[in-house]
A and B are shown apart, each in its own frame.
Chain A
Amino acid sequence: MALTGTLDRPPHGAADPVVFVRETGEDRQLGLLVQGARCASCLAKIENGVSALPGVRQARMNLTTGKLSVAWRNHDVEPALIVEALARLGYPAVPFDPAEAVSREDAEGRRLAIALGVAGFGAANAMMFSVPVWAGLLHQEMGEGVRTLFYWLTALIAAPCALFAGTTFFQSAWASLRKGRANMDVPISIGVLLAIGVSLYETAIHGRHAYFDAAVSLLFLLLIGRYLDHVLRAKARSAARDLLAMQAATATRLTREGAMESVALRDVAVGDRLVILPGDRLPVDAEVEEGETELDVSLLTGETAPWRVGAGTSVQAGAINLTGRLVVRAVARSEDSAVAAIARLMEAGAQTKSHYVRLADRAAAIYVPAVHGVAALTFVGWMIAGLAFPDALMRAAAVLIITCPCALGLAAPAVQIVASGRLFRRGVLVKSGAALERLAEVDCVVFDKTGVLTFGRPALLHGDPDLVQRAAPLARASRHPLAKALASQAGPGAVADEVREVAGMGVEGLVDGREARLGRASFVGADNAADAETVLWFAIEGETPRRLCFSDDLRVDAAATVRALRARGLAVEVMSGDVAPAVRQVCEAAGIACFCAAMSPMEKAAAIDALVAAGHRPLMVGDGLNDAAALAKAHASMAPGAAAEASQTAADLVFQGEDLSVVVEAIDIARAARARVLENFGMAAIYNLVAAPAAVLGLVTPLIAALAMSSSSLIVTLNALRVGAGRRRA
């Protein structure tokens, strides 16, 4: 597998597909993440369109994951052409690393699914024998011989199935015990193993109390919960990975001979000369050697105004080149770049978070000793009361089996599956159940400004439609954010001829055969001293220059979101890296009184630490690299889908779309989920308060055990479905 390939021409955009091509002998394979494919006609269009390219042997689109796998022989096919062909068909595509796609994640899902199938088989067939036994027990029509035969048959089916299907629980319980803790899988494992052991013993002595069916159907129910939980998490995680793949960056390196080659980010070495085209992100910390341009550093510092750089300037990884071609010399490897300090802070934050004890584990910490204590007391009590040793032991075992926390084990995951599912449909990805629990506990919300309260991109304030249309042909040819905003306002249309971009100044070209310029005041010949960064000037041959103003718009529902958060008793504040006047303006518009401006990433993290130390539980909402450390340190964190890679990794939840109100919705659903989990624990506790004494007194028959255990699980699951039912009222 080669990771580098020579390019005849510069790559389009940041991610050059060449480095993602996998080679096995003659065969080449490329994985592409395709956006917008939804139906059979998309499938046909994509597969036929790509197969029709000369040299392509096979193109197969997976509609569920949105991934297209293209295979070809020898070197004939230029990967960039495939991406281009897809773009022409109307489906933007980005390459992804196929090696990463086949992750351990899938292996875990397969194991769970197979365990689920086996448990289902075991449960159904054990019931085939159990139901006649229960019927016989009730009507006293079945003799001891038949019953024992049936028990042996049940054992033959259920015991191997339970042992196989329960492996996940046994392993997790063992791992937890070795750490000196008892999670919920410990009582589950003990319950299942004990149920099988006791039942085998009972069957051998021709007794009545065999629980094979209960053990295996318990595992079946629990595995349903585990599997759904896994599928949901895998889905959220792969969606999060896809978002990151959209930002996948490769670098273009200049060889000694002056040729350009594409390299994977991790292969960039100190001293490499890299070409950064307009629109590309700086892959590593570097020093500018040639060229002049403006850099968008908003993801790094939160500052919206572009930064002009020239030869000799040190630039940081993550900045986006806006206007001119740059040649830079790498001064750090990707891992050692300025983001590394932020990454260290993120790690520290993630570590503190891993100490967070989840609700289910807190419940288990009370539950496990209580149940085992009761079982021990049952044994001792009945021994003192004069029962024979095997009988006393059986009753103690019955306590452990009947209290096996099926409902308790389902209580939290069932709710979290429903809650994450609802959030997923609203475009919010929840990375873990613990994240949801932490989100429910927050008492204040800290927003970043750029990209969170605002869209993070400028929009045209007001403008004569005629002027906009006349300037648009020039704007469409530029990558500068202001020009892009102008172009999007104008809609699709013609592009100016003979366009030339002057780095840091503007663009010039021919519009309707007349020479025109778009850019700074000095560039177009307007004499305006107060040349703000958010103003463009347009001049066309023979007319006076005219002005176009822009501003980074507040998200439409920012003020409403802030009010809704206050209504829920949450304090709201803003921490921004941008300059104070810009922050004040946005905060006033959004109705936030408490804000800090011009903060460095470290200051943000420290401020979050201070909040936590003061006993608060902050929710951090941020998108920039400068927020990553704060996101990792906050009690809970959210990042928009357009956020920097590091921020998305650090955040607990990632939300997509234009609405800020999903923050409120996420908090509502998290709180509702927490309420349901607590209710479920309550119900499980009531069940145990009834069932455990019955077991202590020896009143539990296999039929009662099976009924009680499945009905409690069912109730808990049904209750979980109520999550978020009333959220529209808010």
Chain B
Amino acid sequence: MTAMIFLIPISLGLAFVGLCGFLWTFRSGQYDDPKGDAERILYDHLDEGPPADG
């Protein structure tokens, strides 16, 4: 049972990181142009890497 004292916070923490990650992808506009991003990544001169925050 003592394992749970560690496991529960760890699993919750990981899940929370996941949620924050989702909110970050959302806020940084990564869903604005899924079709364009899928094409851009194939070519170096079009790929600008992940967008800046904002």
- The residues of A with any CB-CB pair to B shorter than 8 Å are 39-40, 43-44, 47, 61-65, 110, 113-114, 117-118, 121, 124-125, 128, 146, 153, 157
Contact = CB atoms under 8 A, between A and B. Distances in A.
Interface in B6-35: 8, 11-12, 15-16, 18-19, 22-23, 26, 31-35
Nearest to A129: B8
B53 interface: no
Contacts of B26: 110, 113-114, 117
B33 A117 contact: no
A64 B36 contact: yes
Interface residues of B, number: 23
A44 B11 contact: no
Contacts of A128: 11
Nearest to A47: B46
Contacts of B23: 114, 117
Nearest to B15: A125
B46 A63 contact: no
A63 B42 CA distance: 14
Interface of B: 1, 8, 11-12, 15-16, 18-19, 22-23, 26, 31-36, 39-40, 42-43, 45-46
Interface of B, secondary structure class, is helix
A121 B36 contact: no
Contacts of B42: 40
Nearest to B48: A60
Contacts of A61: 36
A32 B39 CA distance: 20
A43 B39 contact: yes
Given A121-B15, A121-B18, A121-B19, A40 B40 contact: yes
Contacts of B11: 125, 128
B43 A44 contact: yes
Contact of B33 (A47, A63, A157): A63
B43 A62 contact: no
Given A43-B40, A146-B1, 5 more contacts: A44-B46, A63-B33, A64-B33, A110-B26, A121-B19
Sorted from nearest, which 6 A-B pairs have the closest CB atoms?
A: A63-B36, A40-B39, A121-B19, A63-B35, A62-B33, A64-B35
Contacts of B35: 63-64
B43 to A, nearest CB: 6
A62 B43 CA distance: 16
Contact of B36 (A43, A125, A157): A43
A264 B25 CA distance: 38
B12 A62 contact: no
A113 B11 CA distance: 23
Nearest to A61: B36
Contacts of B34: 64
Contacts of B1: 146
B39 A63 contact: yes
Nearest to A37: B36
Contacts of A113: 26, 31
Contacts of B8: 153
Given A113-B26, A117-B26, A39 B39 contact: yes
B49 to A, nearest CB: 14
Contacts of A117: 19, 22-23, 26
A519 B8 CA distance: 85
A121 B8 CA distance: 15
B18 to A, nearest CB: 7
A65 B43 contact: no
Contacts of A65: 33
A346 to B, nearest CB: 34
B44 to A, nearest CB: 11
B53 to A, nearest CB: 16
Nearest to B22: A117
Contacts of B43: 40, 44
Interface centre among B8, B12, B22, B39 (most CB of A within 10 A): B39
A294 B16 CA distance: 68
Nearest to B19: A121
A64 B12 CA distance: 35
Interface centre among B11, B22, B34, B45 (most CB of A within 10 A): B22
Contacts of B46: 40, 43-44, 47
A44 B45 CA distance: 8
